[in-house]
Amino acid sequence: MRLTVLTLFALLTQGGCGDPDVRGPVGPGDTDADTDADADTDTDADTDTDADTDTDADTDTDADTDVDGCPTGMVAIDAFCIDRYEASLVDHSPYEVPRSGVAQSVEGVVPQAYISGDVAAVACTAAGKRLCGVDEWMRACQGRSGRTWPYGDTYDAQACNDTYPGEHPVVDYFGTGEGVWDGAHMNDPGINQQADTVDPTGANPDCVSEDGVLDLHGNLHEWIDDPSGTFKGGFFADAVINGQGCQYTTTAHTTTYHDYSTGFRCCADRD
């Protein structure tokens, strides 16, 4: 049923993106910049939040202790470090839209969703890190051997959180697919508090790269360092529409965009 709804939505919304500066939310059938059609349904999604560089959060983060030239909670890969887990924010609800914060990489917590690319960059900087470049993110996901998925070249439906069993998390939460594909609805904190949505960090131990980085596929989209706006990896309700495995890439939104599916992780230069 889920695949039928996603396909029908994509067909109904074909016809162009309209103003390229007005980006739509990640609804059913959302694709990258070349094929994205739901951009025309956006109402107030891009009024979401700009990054607030004023952060009152405690700046004593997991960047304090080095392991293999990397801060605690990170994995050393070649000349860079990457968060082992999808990022959460210190003293902030993962179900609320953040305006600032300090990123952390810790096991057993719900990672931060509802975050824009701009705020993700601010949170990484506040932790003494930065957003990952696309080459860094791809190296972490594919490993030295160039895997299709972080765990290997054969798809495993049990490995990662990418098989949401419902119709669509937004439709299931509101009970309708009408009038819900806008910023106000798609940032409702209740969406990710439904069953079978976002998992805590470390809950999918088989969704791991050859270097030990978890959840690079599924669970939450992950913003990377691209001023045009790019997130990678797919999320719990779709990790196939915009590419297979590590190749999954969404470029349909600016860095001010956020919804229930958008998360992040940080990188850093290795000492």
- What pLDDT is recorded for position 68? 87
Reported as a single tens digit per residue, the pLDDT across 151-173 is 999 999 999 999 999 999 999 99
Which position has the higher pLDDT, 148 or 58? 148
Cα angle, residue 102 at apex, residues 96 and 104 outer, rounded to 5°: 95
User: Mean pLDDT score of the chain, rounded to an integer?
Assistant: 84
Report the percentage of the chain scoring pLDDT > 90: 75
Residue 222 binned pLDDT confidence (cut-offs 50, 70, 90): very high
pTM: 0.80
In the predicted structure, residue 14 carries a pLDDT above the cut 80: no
> How far are the Cα atoms of 1, 24, 27, 28, 105 from residue 180, in angstroms, in the given order?
19, 12, 9, 11, 32
Distance between CA atoms of residues 12 and 68, nearest Å: 51
Q: Among residues 87, 23, 92, which one has the least CA distance to residue 57?
A: 92
Which element (helix H / strand E) includes 88? strand 88-89
Spell out a b/e string for 157-184, using b for 16 or more CB atoms within 10 Å of the CB, else e: eebbbbebebbbbbbbbbeebeebbbbe
Average confidence (pLDDT) over 189-203: 98
Question: What are the backbone angles phi and psi of residue 210, rounded to the nearest 5°?
Answer: -65, -20
